[in-house]
Structure 1
Amino acid sequence: MIVTKLPWAGVKVEIGTTRIAIDPLYNFPPRYERSHEPLYPLDVFGKVDAVLITHHHPDHFDPEAIARFYGEEIPVYLPVESLKLIGDTPLKQLYGMELGQSIRIGSAKAIAVFAMDGFGDPQVSWVVEGGGKRLIHGGDTLWHGHWWNIKSVHGPFDIACMPVNAAIVEFRGNPPSGQPITLGPEQAVAAAYVLGAKTLLPIHYRTIHQPPLYCETPDLPERLHASAAERGIKLALLDTHDSLDLSGDAEAIEQVRQ
């Protein structure tokens, strides 16, 4: 298994000749003024066989980019409840997934598992396994009590891709709550620990920070390193285009630049 960091919350997973993109993003959501990191055409990262979407929010589901760079016929899997929320798209193969439902994509297996959305919208986390390795991608989940159940049924994991920016927003609800809508650094490490993950790959940070509309929590890298060291979790703070190669020894994780 090779895991490549895409911008924002996206990752690309390669298992043998099978390639899967999770939450790939190219078109920056118009609500925000600018991206704090470059967004690349999705084909820069190579072709994929399927796309997994954690939820329908525009910073996670970019149907125009998916159709443009992967083709309108690319299979796209997302929560079944999201199908009625996404409107018209150019995508021809959209499949709604129930919690616990699994699919085969080439040499990989993908399973939709529980996640908790910060706005009460439908969301899943994705478990992807193959080649003797397991990954979980948390989208922009909050903390919840299903981590232990997920580990019991699907874990332990080689790598957990978890949101870390503890975003506080002012565009949803009046008055605004002042509470994070995603995991923070310490919670992401705790989730990886409970899931039995060897490595935490932080996602969902850096790209968007526009106070007071959308505020990222401060001191992210320092807090991640401190919490991961305390819990004994390996931390992979990857830049876009960087990859983790888990295809060799289970304990040998190599960071490479594509």
Structure 2
Amino acid sequence: MLQFSYYGHSCFQLNDGTHKVLTDPFLTGNPTAAISAEKVEADTILLSHAHGDHFGDAQAIAERTGADVVGVPEVLGLLRLPGAKLHGMNLGGTLSLPFGSVRMVLARHSSGVAGGCACGYIIRMGGKTVYFAGDTAIFSDMKFLGERDAIDYAMLPIGDNYTMGPEDAALAAKWLGAKHVIPIHYNTWPMIAQNPEEFKKLCEAASDAKVTVVQPGESIELV
């Protein structure tokens, strides 16, 4: 069993019943946040890059929960945590963790810190393969990601302006060969306002993926 809980923007938690993985914990100052930084739980935090709407509350949550934090070294260098809690990686690397593993993959986006790069993650947990795209434009190597791994769920940004929009995200789902897609990174502010139901129609017409729209504060089981 693997549970997905959406907390708004690009922040979600994967929970296999024993371990809790949290992505890009921007909660304080997030108008769509469905939980506070003081209450969210995590054993591992995955950071895709250092922009404030992704790096967010990583320091405070890691201090409170004792979570390990994964990211590129330049992003981790912004944190004031014991070295044993920081797991630096770079593109193409795989890290084994108590819940399974993560592989750091390319994202086409700026990093928010000098010398760093933005990334996404292929997460193996609870018998599922989950692709967290982070902030990204569409890029042709998404076809390779789909060939490299049988992706059960792809968490794709659809907000446009800062990331790919609905049309490109629908094409990305096709290239990835994902069985399921959950849209993220939209409706936080007017600049990235989107209708997720329209994206669902677009994506399901363009690919074999089934789209599940999860509202902030909702949880679903990844089947």
**2:21 aligned partner, one-letter code:** I
Which residue in 1 is equivalent to 2:98? 106
1:145 Cα deviation from its structure 2 partner: 1.6
Structure 1 stretch 48-57 or stretch 237-246: which is displaced more? 237-246
1:216 matched to 2:208: no
Give the structure with the larger helix fraction: 2
Q: How many residues align?
A: 215
Match of 2:210 among 207, 215, 234: 234
Normalised by the size of structure 2, how large is the TM-score?
Answer: 0.86
1:68 Cα deviation from its structure 2 partner: 5.0
1:127 matched to 2:119: no
Report if the CA contact (8 A) 2:10-2:185 is conserved.
yes
Give the secondary-structure state (helix, strand or coil) at the position aligned to 2:52.
coil
Which residue in 1 is equivalent to 2:169? 188
Normalised by the size of structure 1, how large is the TM-score?
Answer: 0.75
Answer with 1 or 2: which has the greater Rg. 1
Within-5 A mapping of 1:1-258: 1-28=2-29, 35-38=30-33, 40-42=35-37, 44-45=39-40, 47-62=41-56, 63-71=58-66, 74-83=67-76, 86=78, 89-92=79-82, 93-118=85-110, 122-153=117-148, 155-167=149-161, 181-209=162-190, 215-217=191-193, 219-230=194-205, 231-246=207-222, 253=223
1:106 Cα deviation from its structure 2 partner: 1.2
Q: 1:191 to 1:19 in 2, by over 3 A?
A: same
CA RMSD of aligned residues (A): 2.2
1:57 Cα deviation from its structure 2 partner: 0.7
1:54 Cα deviation from its structure 2 partner: 0.5
Unmatched tracts of structure 2, length 5 or more: none
Give the secondary-structure state (helix, strand or coil) at the position aligned to 2:146.
helix
Unmatched tracts of structure 1, length 5 or more: 29-34, 168-180, 210-214, 247-252, 254-258
Q: Distance in 1 between matches of 2:181 and 2:132?
A: 10
**1:243 aligned partner, one-letter code:** S
